[in-house]
Each structure stands twice: as C-alpha cells, then as structure tokens.
Amino acid sequence: MLTRPTVRASWFGCPAPYPREVYALARSYGVGIAAVRSSKRSFSYWVLVCSFASESQANQFRAACGDQFFGWSGTFFYMRRVGRRWRVSVPVLVPQVVFPVCRGRLRLGGFRVVTS
C-alpha cells in the first residue's frame, strides 16, 4: 500500500510537495531528466520539470502526480513537447534558496540559482 507523502504548504498557504517526493514518483514512470526551476506562473513560484520519452508516460505521470499530491487526477500541470521528449511541470516547494550577492555592477546572466 502506498503511503501519501506529507504535503507542506508554500509560504502563503498553498499545498506543494518537495521536489524529491515528485522525483520519486516520476522514477516509477520512467523519467529521463528532472530539474527544478523558478516559475512566475506556479503558485509556489517553483516547478520540477520532468522529461519523458513518450506522451503516454507523461500523461500517466501527470494523472498519478495530481492524484497523489493534490488530491485530484485532473489537476492541470503544464505539459509540452520539446523535440522528441514530453515535459511535465509540477509545482514544488523549495524551502531554502540561496542567491549570490552581486558586488559591484550587476551583469545579467552571470549568476546561477543554488538550492540546498
């Protein structure tokens, strides 16, 4: 029997799982690559983008993820085709994010987001 992971709330009260919880589920559906990135459209401001080889794998993962983490399999996750792969973006909670401080003149594109 599968146990439902503890879903934490983002800083303004919306439920969102941790990336490791979503990745553990994605592995059972054959995820190729998974990466956390910031998102202006996500209620948690962060998404885990999971890449799958086929549309059916991506659809099955999307339904299972919605059911397990958000309580409804029809939950909308952004799914798109990129080349020969299908990507699904799932809102996640990233509790600690460190941004490097720029000393001197700001240069766009010269920094990376580091998560702990």
Alpha helices in 1-116 (DSSP H): 19-27, 55-70
Strand partners, 27: none
CATH 3.40.1000 fits 8-115, yes or no: no
What average pLDDT does this structure show over 6-25?
72
pLDDT tens for 38-60 read 888 888 888 999 999 999 999 99
pLDDT of res. 14 = 62
* Cα–Cα distance measured from residue 57 to residue 71, given in angstroms and rounded to the nearest whole number: 20
Q: Is the pTM of this model over 0.85?
A: no
